[in-house]
Amino acid sequence: MHLILLGAPGAGKGTQGALLAEHLEVPKIATGDILRDAVREGTELGQSAKRFMDAGELVPDEVILGLVRDALAAPAAANGAIFDGFPRTIPQAEALSEILMELGRDLDVVVVIDVADDVIVQRMSGRRTDPETGKVYHLSFNPPPAAVVDRLVQRDDDRENTVRRRLAVYRETTAPLVDFYVERGLPIEHVRGDRPIEEVQAELVQRIGR
């Protein structure tokens, strides 16, 4: 099964994608993960990506797509893959379709995890990180022990104004992918992500018919 998970930053794609990948026994392909793996392994594409990253520039689509192609061609992806937050744009979606066609495969379904913007802002702006241990807490949902509160920090990405900017970018560039896939006749499943992880996962499994 080849499945795309869409949803705004903080909607829970990473968590749900990992659980679903385990359930379906297929890899989860997230561009951030495959970028880090390629850089760590020193592959040709990884070295190319590192040059852009070291310069503080965005990694071009051609490098990202090369990494996605390699991930799909790996034995682990012989029975499918879950795309977590990829594609992000219409050009990436068109390129992914070409890659899958080259490999003789098709997309099966697009799942959209829907969460209201205010809920996402609450989720992300409440996160705090312990710089000594790397552990992440949430002021409301996973409060830190009193002993570490004073040393916790808030990542710039988790500040409310940054989160709202990221949501605006998502609405502008990624949300139109739903219409893109509807026009191509691909099944679109919407799942509410503002519920406990187990409930969302159970509905995801039920919706994809496995």
Question: Which residues are known catalytic residues?
Answer: 13, 88, 127, 155, 166
Give the C-alpha separation, 186 to 107, whole Å: 8
Nearest to 93 by CA among 74, 114, 65: 65
Angle (deg, nearest 10), helices 61-73 and 31-41: 80
Please name the residues in contact with 154: beta carbons below 8 A apart, sequence gap of 6 or more: 125, 127, 128, 129
Residue 131 Cα distances to 63, 72, 148, 159, angstroms: 32, 35, 10, 17
Please name the residues in contact with 77: beta carbons below 8 A apart, sequence gap of 6 or more: 26, 27, 29, 71
Q: What is the DSSP letter of 65?
A: H
SS3 of 40-85: the string is HHCCHHHHHHHHHHHCCCCCCHHHHHHHHHHHHHCHHHCCCEEEEC
Any idea which residue has 């920090």 for tokens? Answer: 153
